Every structure is written in structure tokens, then in C-alpha cells.
Amino acid sequence: MSVLIECVPNFSEGNDLQIIKQITDAIESVAGIKLLNVDPGKATNRTVVTFVGKPEAVVEAAFRGIQKAGELIDMRKHKGEHPRMGATDVCPFIPISGISMADTAHYALQLAKRVGNELHIPVYLYEAAQSNAARSNLSVIRAGEYEGFFKKIKLPEWKPDEGPVEMDAKRGATVIGARDFLVAYNINLNTTSTRRANAIAFDVREAGRVLREGNPITGKIISNADGSPKSLPGSLKCVKAMGWYIEEYGICQISMNLTNIAVTPVHVAFDEVCKKATERGLRVTGSELVGLIPLQAMLDAGKYFLRKQQRSVGVSDDELIKIAIKSLGLDELAPFNPRERIIEYLLNDGSQQPLIQLNLRAFVNETASESPAPGGGSISAYMGSLGAALATMVANLSSHKKGWDEQWETFSDWAEKGQYYKDALLNLVDEDTAAFNGIMAAFALAKTTDEEKKIRTDAIQAATKFAMEIPFKVMQLSFDSMSVIKAMAEIGNPNSASDAGVAALCARSAVMGAFMNVRINASGYSDKTFVNDLIQQGYALEEKTKALETEIVSMVNQKIGL
């Protein structure tokens, strides 16, 4: 697994595209990082930049971005709706893969030391990079903002963690840390009243609202026994929120940070704000994503809104994302392109899946060409995927069949399972071709010296084992998908019985075809114990598949009746 860290610096410039471009050019000048997103906001006068890479490269790229921002942005002239304290206001590191939060925090500390020592900018650490709990919350650190920090920085309890104990008039101060993935999310309201927007923000945010005597705005603050302000918690955990007016759009928004979308997902936050807005006579008109979002968050949102309609959730990722965009109103203020806003799509440019990126004609033509790949293994995987897809179609048709409303959830569950098998098998189309190419590459290795011969032999053996394991996965998944196919033959829409029958034929062919690939590659593998065990499993799976296919086809023929 690759070790990857994401970095999401927020720069205090959202209008001058030339300045923004110079900052991102500085970031991109570092080899080994990938710029994923640049999201400028005019009203906030702030740009959120997202890039990923190996830890050392991310540290260097972040340093260069902070350095360039300090050269180009003058905080003495900065105005914007968003709280801020420096040219680079905040610079978090987020673990993406192959790295712990503790190690991610270690790299944040490296960056903080460099910024403090080399750029002479005051630096505060936050969240996982901060050992002092009283100074770990970003909003607490930033309280007073740029204007108030000239005095705040002199207080003993607010001495910077790194850098000079002197506020830099031009560049301000910055906050560097490590945190979990955070979704910055704004919900649009049909009002221009910041006070009403803030009231809704206080209703939902975890911190809630401070309680006052009499007038909730001007009344005396009610204190706890220890003298701290007494508050009424909001309805959503792991949510920070405030209301603001965005002149660019002519509306107010609830600006939210969802700090743990496993606790409060985007769709739950959206619906809760809708509820609270309605209670206060307002209406939510849409929402806006700032930066990037994980794929699963969009899929979960799509499924959530489909379930509310009592519709099947066993549809493609593309359809789920479309439902999420429309339901959340993510395209109200500007077009929302999933390929530019979902982090997994940006990290995967499709280069690892060249076959399934092809259209049908191109795929068939590539199969028919003189190239040995794609071959029988990839075609077996594709047949298995088509079988699962047909079963999923029957489940979705049955879920939406008039008069079958009480059964929609049962068919939705089957369709969701079918989607899983379809996608898993589709991914194996390219995996099988990659396995074959791996064998060819191993055979092409040099074999002049004894050391080279050993390296080549080991590589051939490893590639051969992989080339057996992939089609065996195709066998297993194709057989498992027949549980969905059988269910649809039994209880699915009778008008689609033939589709379930064809699905069973596809699954059977996928299992038998994939097993041929297991066996042909097994002859070249030296571990005969492994080979014999795999072949025995394969024959058993093949026999079970044939029996199940016969059972399904018999059911289908009875329903067809001719």
C-alpha cells in the first residue's frame, strides 16, 4: 500500500487568480505530489487547495506554498467573511493510506519547525499535532483573528509553538496540524438575515448556544458552578457551524465543518438543517461543497435519499451520485462535477483499468486483435459481471413493479448485492490481463548471471501464482452471484424470467472459463501442494455451479412455459 498524506492549506486570497496560480505553481513544483483541487471563494476571500503525495514531498510542497503565500498576500489589506489569522491561515495534514495519525502528526511538526525557523512566521499546532488539549481546537486558537493577534501573541498562554513571539503584520500567523478527513460544507438558505442563519447554526452544531437570561441575544450569560458559560448542545455531533451572508450569492449560508462524517454524514446534516430551517420559517434551497469529499459519503447520501422514496438502492455508483447531487442541491450555485470533487476519482486516473474504460465496440475489437490480452480470463470475468448485472436489473424492475410496493426493500437488498458482484467482477477484467502481462514481463527479465536467473525465476513464480489466483476469484464471485440470480428466478418479476436464465448461463460460463485459466497457468507453478489444493477446490466449485445453473434454468423454463 502506498503511503499517502493529503494536505489542505487554506490561503487568504480568493479573488486574484494570478496570486492563487503562483501559490499552486509553487506547490506543484515539488515532484511526487498531485494537485487535486483548487477552490477559491470570492466572498470569503479564501482559497482551499488540496493535494496528496508521499509524506516528504507533501512537507516540501506545503512549505513552498506557505512561503509563496507569505510573499504575495498582505494581511493588512485582507477582508473576507471567513475567520482568518494569516496568509496561510491553516495547513492540515490528513492520513490517506499506509500511515497512522501519529506519524502524520510527526510530519506536521516537521513542517511547523521549518516554517517557524526558516520563514520566521509564528506557528500554532492543532488537533493531533498539539499535545496541549487547551490549544488543540482551531477556532479557539484563531479567536480574535488577525486583528486581535498582535496582543494575543504576547500572552504567555498564547506563545507560538514555533517561530517568533511577534505577529507578522504582512503574513500574520499560521496554524499547522494533523486531523481526520473533514468535509467543509455550506447549506444555502432563502434569507439574507445572518442572525436567523446563526440561530439555525446554533440549533445544529455540537457546541450549541450559550444560554442567557431573558433575551437570548443581549441577556446576561448563565454560568455553570465553575464560572464557565452554560450552553445548550445542538442536535448534531462532530459538527461546527456558523451563519454568514454571502454577497456573491445574495443569500445566507450555514457554513459547516463535518469533522467525522461517520458520526454525522453530509446527508444527515443537510436534512437536520432543513428541519430546523422549516421550524424557523425558512427554507433550504441547496448546498455547496468546499474542496473534496470521499466517494462513500456521496454513495451513502444517494442511498439515503432513495430509501426515503422507497426506491431500490441497488443501482450504479454514477446513479447514486446523481441522486445525491440533486437531493443535496450541490449544483444550485455552480456545476458539480463528480470527477473533480470526489477524492477517489481524482486519485484514480483510469490508467489501471484500461479495458473497462473502453466502449463495447472498442473492447470487442481489442479482444479480436492479435494481442493475446484480453483473453479468456478477462472475458470470463466480464461474462460474470454481465450475469450479475442482469440479476440486478431483474431485482430493480421487481422493486419498482406496480403492486409490489411492500416488497421493494427485499428486492433493493438483492439489487445491492448484485451491484457488489457486478463491480467486483468488472474490476477483475483488467486484473486478469494485468496478471497475464505480469507473466510476460517476468519472462522478459535478464538471465545472464546466476543472480539474474534467480530473480527471473522468482518473478515468474510470483506472477504465475497471481495469474491463478485472479481467475479463481472470478470463479468464486461468479458462483456467489448465482444466489442473486436464483432469487430473481424464484421471486422476481415473471416478465423478466428469461433475463434471470441468461444471467445463470453467464455465471456458469464465467466459472468454467475462469477455471480453464486457473488450470492452464497451474502447469507452470512449482508448488504442487498449492496447485493440487486449488485445482480440487476449482473442480468442486465447477460442479456446484453446474448443478445450480441447471436448477435455475429449470425454474426459468417452467415460468416461460413454451
- Three cell numbers written together for 253: 449560508
Strand 4-7 relative to strand 88-97: parallel, antiparallel, unpaired? antiparallel
**What is the spatial order of strands in the sheet that 251-258 belongs to?**
239-246, 251-258, 183-189, 284-290
Strand 123-127 relative to strand 174-178: parallel, antiparallel, unpaired? parallel
The conformational region for residue 87 under phi > 0 = left, psi -120 to 50 = alpha, else beta, is alpha
Do 41 and 10 contact (CB within 8 A), yes or no? Answer: no
* Cα–Cα separations (whole angstroms), residue 305 to 186, 187, 189, 312, 414: 19, 17, 20, 10, 18
Residues facing 511 on adjacent strands: none
For residues 381 and 367, what is the distance between their CA atoms, to the nearest angstrom?
13
| Catalytic annotation, pick one of 39, 300, 432, 499 | 432
Torsion, Cα of 265, 266, 268, 272 (10° steps): 140
For residues 52 and 55, what is the distance between their CA atoms, to the nearest angstrom?
9
**Catalytic residue status for 82:** yes
| Catalytic annotation, pick one of 82, 168, 203, 267 | 82
Neighbours of 43 (CB within 10 A): 17
- Three cell numbers written together for 439: 507473466
Sign of CA dihedral 122, 128, 134, 140: positive
**Catalytic residue status for 413:** no
Strand 251-258 relative to strand 239-246: parallel, antiparallel, unpaired? antiparallel
For residues 66 and 129, what is the distance between their CA atoms, to the nearest angstrom?
18
List residues with catalytic annotation. Answer: 82, 432
